[in-house]
């Protein structure tokens, strides 16, 4: 069993390097954590059979390729460009371009929130000369930005980062509410106590999913 684990570990590592992928990139393609991939390649654990099938399909090799030490010369042809094939952009470059484009879209969306906040601030300042508290638009732009980041991260990026973003969303929202009440001369600092059980739930949730991804 240990020999098979070592063989699978070696083959996954070799295929990943031939494909030019990092452990994190492979993990994202398979919907696992990079720590799980690292354990596979150190022969500390073996992926489930469904995951092995996904790995074989991803690298264009037969399933039994992963469990064998020696391989025929033609077994990895899907990974090697044929001379007569039309030149194609490497998949890793396409993935990197997608990640960059997604990051730009996310950044632009968050910047748009702050632009709207600035626009509202200036508009109120111009129309209502004696207005007070309209700077709160910037305060509430923070949790709204966190919400947008959470949405885009859930769609395009590493979902494990969601735990951090949700924590930031909770605390910036509580801070915005506290500041709002302070303007009304009501100091309810106790509102931050609501964030403590929320933070504990987020932490336990992250640990639960971490255990699942490493099994």
pLDDT in tens, 85-126: 444 445 566 677 888 899 999 999 999 999 999 999 999 989
Decide if pLDDT at 20 tops 90.
no
Q: Which residues contact 108 (CB under 8 A, 6 or more apart)?
A: none
pLDDT band at 83 (very low <50, low <70, confident <90, very high): very low
Q: Which residues contact 23 (CB under 8 A, 6 or more apart)?
A: 16, 34, 37, 38, 41
Decide if pLDDT at 82 tops 50.
no
Of the two residues 84 and 116, the one the predictor is more confident about is 116
pLDDT for the residue numbered 182: 92
Domain ranges of the chain: 2-79, 93-213
Decide if pLDDT at 197 tops 60.
yes
pLDDT for the residue numbered 67: 84
- Report whether CATH 3.50.4.10 matches the domain 2-79: no
Across 184-212, average pLDDT: 82
Across 139-157, average pLDDT: 92
């Amino acid at each position: 069993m240990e020999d098979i684990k070592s063989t699978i570990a070696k083959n996954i590592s070799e295929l990943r390097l031939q494909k030019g992928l990092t452990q994190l990139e492979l993990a994202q393609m398979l919907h696992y954590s990079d720590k799980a991939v690292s354990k596979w390649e150190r022969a500390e654990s073996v992926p489930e059979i469904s995951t092995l099938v996904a790995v074989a399909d991803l690298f264009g090799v037969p399933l039994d390729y992963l469990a064998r030490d020696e391989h025929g010369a033609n077994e990895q042809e899907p990974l090697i460009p044929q001379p007569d094939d039309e030149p194609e952009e490497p998949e890793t470059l396409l993935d990197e371009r997608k990640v960059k484009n997604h990051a730009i879209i996310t950044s632009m969306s968050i910047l748009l929130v702050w632009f709207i906040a600035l626009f509202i601030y200036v508009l109120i300042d111009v129309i209502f000369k004696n207005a007070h508290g309209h700077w709160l638009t910037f305060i509430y732009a923070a949790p709204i930005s966190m919400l947008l980041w959470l949405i885009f991260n859930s769609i395009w990026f590493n979902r494990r980062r969601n735990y951090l973003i949700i924590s930031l969303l909770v605390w910036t929202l509580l801070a915005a509410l506290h500041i709002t009440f302070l303007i009304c001369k009501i100091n309810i600092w106790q509102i931050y106590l609501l964030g403590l059980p929320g933070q504990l739930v987020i932490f336990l949730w992250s640990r639960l999913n971490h255990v699942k991804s490493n099994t």
